[in-house]
Structure 1
Amino acid sequence: MNTITGSPRDDPPPRLVESVVTSDDTLRRAAALGDTNAFAEILQRHGPSMFRYARRLLNDRGDAEEVVQDAFIAAWQAIPDFRGDSSLRTWLFTITGRKAIDLLRKKRPVPVDNDAFTSLAATGPDPGTHAGLLEALDAALAELPYLQRAVWLLREIEQMSYAEIATTLHTTPTVVRGQLARGRAALKERLKDWR
């Protein structure tokens, strides 16, 4: 009814266009019921950060791609059993970290020629280039123990809280704080030529 004339309205009511952002929890529940579109949205939303995390943990693009693919396969298979004790993002990072550890266990260390290593260490990256700084950071991260590297990446790159990191890595926030402090100190020492 048109309120001005009191007659029935011929034109349809105006439509409101809404931008609907589906929550992770809604996507998780839909994916648990077999909705592949919901799972595809999860892939789009969290895949890039999972890849970034795996890439820095493993220092190899191909290995990171393999780990993230394995993590998503594992997530698809396990999502019906996911109870939601943590956020979906934290759960996905936990799976990614486990897959990275599994891959590292499969790989055997490659013997390094000491002379080649010494000459490489003596030359180091060129401090005058931005690309050199990123290479130096990647090299310094690769030298950190796994837990320090994982904590640093989740905190500094992925901006996770201490509690989320603790859940992801199955440890406590206190351990996270300690590992982060040691990792930061080690990186500061290794990258002192870049200041």
Structure 2
Amino acid sequence: MPALERLAASAREGDSSALQELASLLQPSVWRFAYHLSGNREIAEEACQETWARVIRALPGFRAESSITTWLLAIARRVTAGLLADQRRNRQRSISSTFNPPPSQSSTASIEIELELDRLPARLREALILTQVVGLTYEETAILAGVKVGTIRSRVFRARSALQRNLGDSSCPSADAPSSEAVRDLGGSGPQVMSRVV
């Protein structure tokens, strides 16, 4: 049984230190995923808080039919989508919700990549972010998205092609570089909000 799955099993049984360790390992992935889905640091932070609150409530019922990472990101996806829907309904965009890359990611290339990622259709962006930024396998991403593995492969290919077309070959992930640093490092690891939840 992989380490994350063992931690999840212990956390499900009420081991708070296992839950804390699980959170510290998965928090960066949750934050990056929420950030890239929303394009907004504040929504990403709120999504992380709400995701972990829901995980704590739902963990006793986790049946391990998928990996803990896939299950957790499915929750993060629903939470982020709900927050985005709330934002659209309220139409209260503040100045702080405009594009604001993390200081460590302020290079021109990183900004260009983030802007191009934001221009991708949501399904393509999600497939690319899950596989290249978060690090899920194509199979895990397919489960999370509720589609076939081939569909995810196609979406990732189309996302890469669009990035290459719009940015040039030097600053975007290529088909032979599935873990491209240029994309994977975008967004940083996010704030360490789990310590406020647990």
TM-score normalized with structure 2 length: 0.72
- Find the partner of 2:26 among 46, 52, 59: 46
Deviations 1:2-44 (A, max 9, x none): xxxxxxxxxxxxxxxxxxxx82222222222222221111111
Q: Could you report, residue by residue, the CA deviation over 1:136-161 in whole angstroms, capped at 9, with x for unpaired residues?
A: 11111111111111100111122321
Larger Rg: 1
SS in structure 1 at match of 2:88? coil
Matched, 1:104 2:87: no
Q: In structure 1, give the amino acid aligned to 2:21.
A: E
Shift of 1:73: 0.9
Looking at both structures, which has the greater relative contact order when contacts are Cα pairs under 8 Å and sequence separation is at least 6? 2
- The amino acid that maps onto 2:87 is K
Residue 174 (structure 1) aligns with: 150
Deviation, structure 1 residue 172 = 1.3
1:26 corresponds to 2:2: no
Which of 70, 79, 82 does residue 90 from structure 1 map onto? 70
SS at match of 1:86: coil
CA distance in 1, matches of 2:136, 2:8: 20
1:73-118 alpha-carbon deviations (Å, 9 max, x no partner): 111111111110111111111111121111221122869xxxxxxx
Distance 1:106 1:143 in 2: 21
Give the TM-score, by structure 1 length. 0.73
Cα RMSD of the aligned pairs, angstroms, is 2.5
Partner residue of 1:188 out of 164, 177, 184: 164
Could you list the runs of 4 or more consecutive aligned residues of structure 1 that deviate by over 3 angstroms after TM superposition? none
- Residue 55 of structure 2 aligns to a residue whose secondary structure is helix
Instruction: Give the % identical residues.
Output: 29
Question: How many residues were matched structurally?
Answer: 158
The unaligned stretches of length 5 or more in structure 2 are 93-105, 172-198
User: 2:59 matched to which residue of 1?
Assistant: 79
User: What stretches of structure 1 of length at least 5 have no aligned partner?
Assistant: 1-21, 112-129
Give, in angstroms, the shift of residue 193 of structure 1: 8.9
Q: Which amino acid aligns with 2:61?
A: D
Q: Provide the C-alpha distance between the structure 2 equivalents of 1:139 and 1:194, rounded to a whole number of angstroms.
A: 16
Do residues 140 (structure 1) and 120 (structure 2) align?
no
- Please say if residues 133 and 194 of structure 1, whose CA atoms lie closer than 8 Å, have aligned partners that are also in contact: no
